[in-house]
Amino acid sequence: MQQQVILSCFASTNKGLEQILINELEILGANNLVSVNAGVKFTANIDTIMLANLHSRFASRIMIEIAHGGYCNEEDIYTIARNINWSEWFNVDATIKVSTNAINSPLKSLEFITLRVKDAICDNFMHQQNRRPDVDKRDPDIRVYNFLTSDTVTVYLDTSGEALFKRGYRSTHQEAPLKENLAAGLIKLSGWSATSTPPPPLLDPMCGSGTIIIEALLMALNIAPGLYRKFAFEKFNNFYQNAWDNMKFAAKQAIRKDPNLKIYANDINPKAIIQATQNLQHAKLREYVEFTNLDFLDVQCPLHSSGGTIITNPPYGVRLNELDELASLYPKIASHLKNNFAGWNCYFFTADLRLPKLFRLKPSRKIPLFNGALDCRFYEFKMVSGSNR
Ligand SMILES: C[S@@+](CC[C@H](N)C(=O)[O-])C[C@H]1O[C@@H](n2cnc3c(N)ncnc32)[C@H](O)[C@@H]1O
């Protein structure tokens, strides 16, 4: 791995977050940024790639393109992968995992492509060193991704390891949490920022495991989301430990302290409050959050503030009885907001596209976003003083 070589890269993200990821990667030093479906192509040197892994709040994974070519059949793909100088990137002792994705590929089995690229890597090492790397499908050191179109294949080397939304603060299995990079994206899109003094109040009245409030705190205190986790590039050959230590040291120095910062969180379910509290404790951010354990309809405006931001992710209403419950809950939430949160900007992220109609309010913004394959919207409602009359 040569430090100053300019590499072609791809950062994957949630569909709908491409533009804010472009802005973020540009600030981190990436060039030639191009938005594609659920990702961003860019060029960068290895230092910028390490920085992006450490600091990106919106990317899911960052990969280096190590080969690209046309193909007619499986053996063409094998040849492209066989010709990569794999030992330039990693050691034969590293464990590997290969995966394949395709759009419009005429080839019958993606599993077979995966197998052939794995063979190509092993044959390459056998030829050079008479040894081959082991496969580890669960927790590999090195991940290789093949992406096929109808007639081209791109081979990517993953630099992230575990997906970047795994920040390391969520420990136990939790029910339907938002992905961390999506939650960070919602906060960015809302425009909430804690850098003004005093920080504007932020409330998540249906906080679940607390992803939105934790991501908001990481942003407000300028805590790099990757500070306390490992990355795949640490297993690359010629990994520059010193450069990496310096980046982490600089990120630690840049953390803000803000004794005035308070974020408000509520959930009707006491178990959710326990989970959110545990996650906050792991992230060492418990002191910044004030919890209530109430129905949304009983949540009062924090500090009787005349302005603030609500960002929340209500239940999706995937089950039938849930849909009925939500249909009767939404109008009550809308009148509660009108009566108690005048002057607040309220954001709802949901897959339930009936929400504005049931609120009987016109959203001032409506941003299409995907949660995995689920078509969602991020609605903005501005609660104008006296709008209920
Ligand atoms: C989709 S989950 C939120 C997930 C959360 N964003 C996370 O990342 O973990 C919706 C949450 O709304 C809560 N909830 C449902 N009805 C509520 C109500 N009437 N008042 C307050 N919270 C409610 C549920 O207990 C659940 O935790």
Within a domain: 332 = yes
* Number of domains present in the structure of the chain: 2
Specify the pLDDT at position 196: 73
Residue 336: both structure tokens together: 């509660």
Q: Spell out which residues line ligand 1, taking CB within 6 angstroms.
A: 176-178, 205-206, 208-209, 211-212, 267-269, 272, 295-296, 313-315, 329
| pLDDT of 251 higher than 50 | yes
Rounded to the nearest angstrom, the distance between the alpha carbon of 384 and the centre of ligand 1 is 25
Residues 153, 212: one domain? no
388 pLDDT above the threshold of 50? no
Q: 294 and 345 share a domain?
A: yes
Whether residue 153 is found in the same domain as residue 189: no
Q: What is the CATH number of the domain that holds 82?
A: 3.30.2130.30
Assign residue 337 the CATH number of its domain. Answer: 3.40.50.150
Q: Are residues 124 and 189 in the same domain?
A: no
CA 112 to chain centre: 30
Residue 2 pLDDT exceeds 60: no
pLDDT in tens, 282-329: 999 999 999 999 999 999 998 767 789 999 999 987 666 788 899 999
- Tell me if 237 is assigned to some domain: no
Domain of 42, in residue numbers = 7-158
Per-residue pLDDT, 381: 98
User: From the CA of 210, how far away is ligand 1's center (Å)?
Assistant: 10
Segment 31-84, tens digit of pLDDT: 999 999 999 999 999 999 999 999 999 999 999 999 999 999 999 999 999 999
Q: Report the separation in Å between the CA atom of 207 and the middle of ligand 1, taken as the mean of its atom positions.
A: 6
25 and 127 assigned to the same domain: yes
Given a cut of 80, is residue 185 above it in pLDDT? Answer: yes
**Confidence band of 96 (pLDDT split at 50, 70, 90):** very high
Kindly state whether residue 165 falls inside one of the protein's structural domains.
Answer: no
Statement to judge: residues 56 and 153 lie in one domain: yes
Report the atom number in ligand 1 closest to the C-alpha of 174. 9
pLDDT of residue 22: 98
Q: Is the peptide bond before 331 cis (omega within 30 degrees of 0)?
A: no
Question: Tokens 């082991």 map to which residue?
Answer: 134
If asked whether residues 197 and 346 sit together in one domain, one would say yes
For residue 304, what pLDDT is reported? 67
For ligand 1, atom 12, name the residue with the nearest CA: 206
What is the C-alpha to C-alpha distance for residues 132 and 155, in angstroms, rounded to an integer? 19
| CA 97 – ligand 1 centroid, Å | 36
pTM exceeding the 0.85 threshold for the entire prediction: yes
Residues 139 and 197 in one domain: no
Atom 13, ligand 1: residue with shortest CA distance: 206
- How much distance in Å is there from the Cα of 209 to the middle of ligand 1? 9
Atom of ligand 1 nearest to the CA of 329: 19
The ligand 1 atom at the shortest distance from the C-alpha of residue 204 is: 6
Under 8 Å between Cβ of 344 and 310: yes
Rounded Cα distance between 41 and 64, Å, is 10
Q: What is the pLDDT of residue 3?
A: 52
Please indicate, yes or no, whether residues 375 and 283 belong to a single structural domain of this protein: yes
Do 217 and 357 have their domain in common? Answer: yes
Are both 111 and 40 inside the same structural domain?
Answer: yes
Tell me what pLDDT residue 370 has.
95
171 lies in some domain = no
229 domain-assigned: no
The closest-lying atom of ligand 1 relative to the alpha carbon of residue 333 is 19
